[in-house]
Amino acid sequence: MKPEIFSEIGPIERVFVYSPGKEHNLVLPKDVQAFIEKDNSILRNENFLLFDDIINLEVGKKQHEVFMDVINFYKKDSCIDIRSNFEKIQNDKNIKSEFPLINLMYPRDIAVIIGKQIYLTSSSSKVRKVENLITENFFNNISAYKDCEIIDFKTINNQLSLEGGDIFVLNKDIVMIGISERTSLESIELIVPHIFEQSFQKVIAVDLPKERAMMHLDTIFTQTSYNEGILFNHENYNIENLDIYMACKNSKSNKMSKHKFKFIDILKDFNFNLISCGGNKNNFKLREQLTDGANSFTLEPGKVIMYNCNHQTIKELEKNDYRHISSKALYNDQLTFEKILRSDSKVVISIDGSELVKGRGGPRCMTLPINRGLI
């Protein structure tokens, strides 16, 4: 099966994940400090591993297994752990890393399928650069993909960065990309001509606040159903009024032009029902954005997975007619779990993510969708 993604919510058919392993046992307290004190000054830690805390590996592995089990219960054998493939490439190619590759637990950033094209991304952080090299070897050596168009961003520009957490394939016509601390407007402009080689007519870029809390577009928004999504919007950030840039296929230039519309206008244009990350209280909004309440993974329209620590966001989903079921039911009451999952109701499946969230990644971050069904 060749890669094909023409929406964020089409029924998942194949998705890659990367299970946490022994690399997490190499992490020291200094590695999870974004800033360090030196000579009476506070300096940015150049070797910061992008995690807020050290995970308990035993617990984290079990939580990740549950995540995989839920996806595979939805569609048998659809969730593929690429850990062994990456380890083999590292060994065979003698690829060394100065840093433990703990961020591979979030494979969303290392590649993205747009339509029928495979985009190999380029990390903004030196601690993830080796991941890009392994990913290149991985995709270029899958025989089923040998006839696919693989676009390696490093060969377009090896100075700029482009990460998958910023890229949304909304439908067969529109791709939306975040301008973030990890993906620049210039990077987006460099891939626009390639995107327009396919059916896509428009690329929309959302200019995010440039800070770690909003490192990617999927930290503030994910699509959950046809015209529905979870949005983080706090009075301190004014997310609804973020600037928009746009490129259209039929224009004379592929340059992204600043648009008079704002982010909220684009969402309204799609008739999105926007479900609040964290509910209506500002303190819960901030807390649940921190624990990736806006970063859900959609199995099919109206069937989503999210961390169970985001209580207020789950309540908001319930207010919008989502039935909530814990992943524990998959093991304790499988008949009920299947009945709810296969029902016509919208469903939110909660999983324990107390360890998985420590790298600032949610269920969407932990996936690299390869094939989704058309809707």
Percentage of the residues of the chain whose pLDDT score is greater than 70: 100
Q: Contact, 323 vs 314, CB < 8 A?
A: no
Torsion sign, CA atoms 314, 318, 322, 323: positive
Whether the per-residue pLDDT at 329 is higher than 80: the answer is: yes
- Assigned domain for 1 exists: no
Calculate the dihedral angle through the C-alpha atoms of 170, 312, 33, 120, rounding to the nearest 10 degrees: -10
- Assigned domain for 354 exists: yes
Question: Into how many domains does the chain fold?
Answer: 1
Q: Which domain holds residue 74?
A: 12-24+42-372
Mean pLDDT, all residues of the chain: 97
Which tokens go with 111? 């590649």
- Assigned domain for 268 exists: yes
Q: What is the pLDDT of residue 195?
A: 98
DSSP at 240: G
Q: What is the pLDDT of residue 27?
A: 98
- Assigned domain for 329 exists: yes
The mean pLDDT of 166-185, rounded to a whole number, is: 97
- Assigned domain for 3 exists: no
> Which helix H or strand E contains 247, and what residues bound it?
strand 243-248
Amino acid at 325: I
Torsion sign, CA atoms 99, 187, 356, 139: negative
Amino acid at 77: D
> Which helix H or strand E contains 7, and what residues bound it?
none
- Assigned domain for 160 exists: yes
DSSP bridge partners of 150: 118
| Phi/psi-derived region of residue 352, left when phi > 0, alpha when psi is between -120 and 50, beta in every other case | beta
Q: What is the pLDDT of residue 163?
A: 98
Cα separation, 208 vs 193, in Å, equals: 23
Amino acid at 112: V
297: domain CATH number is 3.75.10.10
Whether the per-residue pLDDT at 171 is higher than 90: the answer is: yes
**Distance set, CA 280 to CA 99, 307, 315 (Å):** 40, 19, 11
Which tokens go with 159? 């100075």
Cα separation, 109 vs 90, in Å, equals: 19
Amino acid at 225: S
Closest CA to 165 of 115, 221, 204: 221
The mean pLDDT of 291-317, rounded to a whole number, is: 98
pLDDT in tens, 238-289: 999 999 999 999 887 778 999 999 999 999 999 999 999 999 999 999 999 9
Q: What is the pLDDT of residue 82?
A: 98
Q: Model-level pTM greater than 0.95? A: yes
pLDDT-based confidence at residue 46 (cuts at 50, 70, 90): very high
Q: Contact, 12 vs 369, CB < 8 A?
A: yes
- Assigned domain for 367 exists: yes
The SS3 of residue 113 is: strand
The mean pLDDT of 61-81, rounded to a whole number, is: 98
Q: What is the pLDDT of residue 141?
A: 92
pLDDT-based confidence at residue 39 (cuts at 50, 70, 90): confident
All residues at 6 or more sequence positions from 22 whose CB lies less than 8 Å from its CB, including other chains? 57
- Assigned domain for 17 exists: yes
Whether the per-residue pLDDT at 291 is higher than 90: the answer is: yes
